[in-house]
Amino acid sequence: MKRMVLVFGAVALQAFAQSNSSQTSTAPLQNPLSGATKYMYSMSKNDLLKSAEEMPEENYSFKPVSTVRSFGQLVGHAADSQYEFCSAVIGDGKQPPGIEKSKTSKADLVQALKDAFAYCDQAYSAMTDAQAPQMVKFFGHDAPKLSILSFNVAHNMEHYGNMITYLRIKGLVPPSSQQQSSQ
C-alpha cells in the first residue's frame, strides 16, 4: 500500500509540474487535485484507446472463458461508462448509448470509444479544484464531482487490466508495457 501511495504521489507531482510548466518555479501550483486527476484520466484514456486499436479485428469476439465479456464488449463497456460517469459531472443527463450491446466491429467500437472520451474530456477539462467538492447525484447518492472523475479513472484502469490479459493471451504487448520497454 505504501508503494502505491508513493507511486501515485510521484505521478501526481509529475502531473503538477507538467501542467504548470509555463509558470515560474516560485508560483504556487494551481488546481493540484483536479490537475492530478486529469493526468491520470489522460493515462487511462491513452491505454484503453491503444489497446482497442492494437487488438486485431478477429480477436474482438475473443473471451478467455464463456462467463466474461469479449474484448469488443470490454471496449463497448468502457465507452458506455464514460457517459455514465461524466454526465453526472457535466450535469446534462446524457445516458450511455448502449455501445456494448449494439456495436461489434473493431472500427465501430474504436470510434465509439473515441467519441465517448471526447464527451468525457469536457468534464475533465472544465474541472478545477474550486469545483471539485461540488456535490451531485451519482447512482442515487450525493458525491463530489472530483470523486466521480477519480472513480472513472479507477474504472478505466480496472478494465484496462482486463484488456491486458486478453492482449497477452493473444501474444500482444499492452500499451503500458510497450512504453516501459521503449524508455
For residues 16-31, give the mean pLDDT. Answer: 55
* pLDDT tier, 29 (very low <50, low <70, confident <90, very high otherwise): confident
How many CB atoms lie under 10 A from the CB of residue 174?
Answer: 20
How many CB atoms lie under 10 A from the CB of residue 129?
Answer: 15
CATH number of 32-182: 1.20.120.450
pLDDT > 60? residue 122:
yes
What residues contact 16, with CB distance under 8 A and at least 6 apart?
29, 32, 35, 36
pLDDT at 180: 64
* pLDDT tier, 179 (very low <50, low <70, confident <90, very high otherwise): low
Closest CA to 96 of 110, 111, 112: 112
